Amino acid sequence: MIRAKRYEDARAQAKSNPELAWWVFMRVSGLVLVFLVLGHIYMTLIQQADSASGAPQTIIDKLSQPVWKLYDWLILILAGLHGLNGARYSLEDYIPDKAKRFWAKILLYTVAGAIFIWGTVGLFTLQPHVVQAQALATP
């Protein structure tokens, strides 16, 4: 992990080019995520109660629209990479043992990777439909 505060210092400290690229990525993705994620929270948590925003029909209707598919997928990918890299910094700081650190990383990447693939497949295979239970409840 690079602890430098300025790009010039970060470049001087970086042990490798990828490490410097990650340092830049954390700043750029973080800036974009501020708007994407706070917008997402405002639209889902603040504007309406989650019994409404979390209802299956609401989500199916929303995620059937390409613009929201893209919006949510951007959050998934950017937050996923940003979060995984942040977790990697933590593992490198707190697990001194090389072998243990290696397996902790393998476990982290496997679990997170599986869930991100699951999310991407779910998002792009979702078919617009009417939820059965709700359709019965409303005459």
Residues that bind other proteins (CB under 8 A): 5-7, 27, 30-31, 33-34, 37-38, 41, 45-46, 49-52, 54, 56, 59-60, 63, 76, 79-80, 83-84, 86-87, 89-90, 94, 111-112, 115-116, 118-119, 121-123, 125-126, 131-133
For helices 66-94 and 17-41, give the axis angle rounded to 10 degrees: 130
Please, what is the minimum distance in Å from the beta carbon of residue 128 to other proteins? 11
Beta carbon nearer to other proteins, 52 or 70: 52
Distance in angstroms (rounded) separating the CA atoms of residues 68 and 123: 10
Beta carbon nearer to other proteins, 5 or 98: 5
Distance in angstroms (rounded) separating the CA atoms of residues 43 and 21: 32
Using only the alpha carbons of the chain, give its radius of gyration: 20
DSSP labels, 80-116? HHHHHHHHHHHHHHH---HHHHHHHHHHHHHHHHHHH
Beta carbon nearer to other proteins, 38 or 102: 38
Distance in angstroms (rounded) separating the CA atoms of residues 33 and 79: 7
Please, what is the minimum distance in Å from the beta carbon of residue 98 to other proteins? 20
Beta carbon nearer to other proteins, 21 or 111: 111
Beta carbon nearer to other proteins, 102 or 111: 111
Please, what is the minimum distance in Å from the beta carbon of residue 16 to other proteins? 20
For helices 56-63 and 66-94, give the axis angle rounded to 10 degrees: 100
Please, what is the minimum distance in Å from the beta carbon of residue 43 to other proteins? 13
